[in-house]
Structure 1
Amino acid sequence: MNSRLRHWREAATLLLAAGRPGRPPRSPPGPLDYELLLLRRSPRSGFMPGAYVFPGGLVEAADFSAEWLGLLPAPPLCGLGPVKPPPPGSSRAPLFTTDRARLGSPLPGEVAFRICAIRETFEEAGVLLLVPGSGPAAGGGPAPPLPAERWPPAAELREWRRRVRQDPSCFLQLCRRLGCAPDIWALQEWSNWLTPVGRAGGRRYDTAFYLCCLQQRPPHASQDDQEVTALLWSSPPEAIERFKSQEIWFAPPQFYELCRLCNFSLLHELHQFSSDRALEGCERWMPVILTASDGYIQLLPGDELYPEDPDYTGEKKVIMSTDKKVEDLMKEGSVFHRIVIKNINNLAVYVNIQAKYKHKNPVMLDSHCSNHNSRL
């Protein structure tokens, strides 16, 4: 862990996509053959209580343990593909460029953050993303689940979840017990979000988002009834429909990523795209909040209103506000990369800039499932 970061804590999260059972979707923009795992945070949580989130959590010292090298291929990349140098004028996200060796770990962030995402997915949802032995799974398709015969009995698995929640280093012990390694090679680098300055409660996170595609739903998935109180498999447009009807709630980064996944109707296309694109790396995004008279706009890099020198730490006490309405700001503008927030269940993404790092812009659905592409 990087203990020198005073303003935010490092975290990792996982967009876990799996082939959906054979049933028709219930909403536009068309049939998707996969669903995403969403978890409802406990209402007692100190951060986004009651929100639906992707599995994930804080990076622990155990995720950077040198003992993982006994289960993984040789460092420094441990079998992961090298990320290309960033485009001119850009830089690799600090989350990944921190010299971990100077902080006492032989594991680079690219490895440890994946271990964190896999460990948290097991803690919160009971899903074990492991491969037998110490190397990548063979073949180039979506990752197969661990064979049923390799799973411990249900009672033993519950006990392991309890132990890992209490002591993250127990995840390494579990992998040794099963003769497996965390399937870090199935996780593709997807995005990097930094919590905005001024979020209520003051908690800020620098979070690596990964994507993993599975051929089918894992055989074991259940909430832990502590950090997580419900579990939902849903296609991206279905999740947005539920959000619109106020059945569920999620934060702007999750809404943005669900809209981005609406570009892909087939799991194998999503897997191929994410595998090819991941080697390009990603850009760190810190939304900057602009307060309007009737709502908020989260500005993202590339938007015409995004500051040239954003206040990452919050020490400058910069406040962006206007007496104008959101609608007026939209009519006056022409270069958009923003999330418009009227209330917690009324969001809209507006993007007309070119996506960087060979990524995809989101399909511009608002929380009423309206498509804004024709407007922009």
Structure 2
Amino acid sequence: MTKVVKPVDAAGLVLIRAGARGEPEILLGRRHRNAGFLPDIYVVPGGRVDAEDHDSSGFAEALHPAVAASLLSGGSRRPALAFPRAALRETLEETGLLVGETGMAEDAAGIPVWQAYRAAGIAPDFASIDFICRAITPVTSHRRYNTRFFLADGAQAVGSVNSNGELEDLAWRPVSALSALNIVDVTEYVLKEALRRWQARSPTGAEPPKLLNYRNDIMTLSRHRTRG
């Protein structure tokens, strides 16, 4: 009998902006062909939640109450802010981009990601980060993740795209070009939902996140329950 691997907590960030011709653009990169998980697949920046993501950034960290409530559900004992902190950290590490507005922290944490924000005079805008969905890798996978996907305004991305090697062919891509990319079903749903919210200018926290799970290796959607 095959042992089921316990999912690892992770976070991903969808960045969408208006392109030069008005068409929405999404930041995507291709995982290396030798990657142990989803090789040669296009994904948004993201990765596992680390212990350092439990610590305060030193910036204002007021999540929208509905987003915070949703993040506290799902069986995780991590603080709600650990997930958006991880998404912002992974985005900086993988793409070189800071996401936020001009601002300073009174006492930015000594963790490299927050020191980079401070040095650039950029404050992460936690209050505007929306929670799109939570996705759990199939039980048949040898690597499993319990990933929270977030949406942020790509117009707040500061800096030049500069891959650290984890994501190849990293670039802002017009939505009309996405059909030509190798994208898995979860990412396809996440991008579609993020784009819908972005185009509708849906307020942060106005729509509850969905739970993406698998039954017999077929993706299913259900309500992401929050604690009452």
What is the TM-score of this pair, normalised by structure 2? 0.80
CA distance in 2, matches of 1:113, 1:53: 17
| CA shift for structure 1 position 98 | 3.5
- Report the CA distance shift for 1:237/1:260 in structure 2 as closer, same or farther (over 3 A): farther
| CA shift for structure 1 position 178 | 3.7
Of 61, 66, 69 in structure 2, the residue corresponding to residue 83 of structure 1 is 66
Counterpart of 1:98 in structure 2 is: 76
Counterpart of 1:189 in structure 2 is: 131
Counterpart of 2:51 in structure 1 is: 61
Counterpart of 2:9 in structure 1 is: 10
Counterpart of 1:160 in structure 2 is: none
Counterpart of 1:118 in structure 2 is: 88
| CA shift for structure 1 position 210 | 0.4
What code does the residue aligned with 1:230 have?
D
- Give yes or no for contact 1:58–1:116 (8 Å, CA) kept in 2: yes
What code does the residue aligned with 1:254 have?
T
Of 150, 166, 178 in structure 2, the residue corresponding to residue 210 of structure 1 is 150
Q: Does 1:233 align with 2:172?
A: yes
- Report the CA distance shift for 1:262/1:19 in structure 2 as closer, same or farther (over 3 A): closer
Counterpart of 1:300 in structure 2 is: 220
After superposition, the C-alpha distances for 1:19-50 in whole angstroms (9 at most, x for unaligned) are 1012xxxxxxxxx6311011111122111111
CA distance in 1, matches of 2:23, 2:83: 28
CA distance in 1, matches of 2:209, 2:97: 26
Counterpart of 2:190 in structure 1 is: 257
**Structure with larger Rg:** 1
CA distance in 2, matches of 1:205, 1:237: 29
Q: Does 1:72 align with 2:42?
A: no
What is the TM-score of this pair, normalised by structure 1? 0.51
| CA shift for structure 1 position 289 | 2.6
What code does the residue aligned with 1:282 have?
P
Counterpart of 1:41 in structure 2 is: 31
Structure number having the greater strand percentage = 2
Q: Which runs of 5+ in 2 are unaligned?
A: none
Highest relative contact order (Cα 8 Å, sep 6+), 1 or 2?
2
3-state SS of the aligned residue for 2:98? Answer: coil
What code does the residue aligned with 1:214 have?
G
CA distance in 2, matches of 1:184, 1:262: 19
CA distance in 2, matches of 1:288, 1:57: 24
- Give yes or no for contact 1:10–1:95 (8 Å, CA) kept in 2: no
4+ residue stretches of structure 1 with deviation over 6 A? none
Of 214, 217, 228 in structure 2, the residue corresponding to residue 287 of structure 1 is 214
**Identical positions, percent:** 26
Counterpart of 1:129 in structure 2 is: 99
CA distance in 2, matches of 1:49, 1:118: 23
**1:169-188 aligned within 5 A:** 169-188=111-130
- Give yes or no for contact 1:81–1:279 (8 Å, CA) kept in 2: no
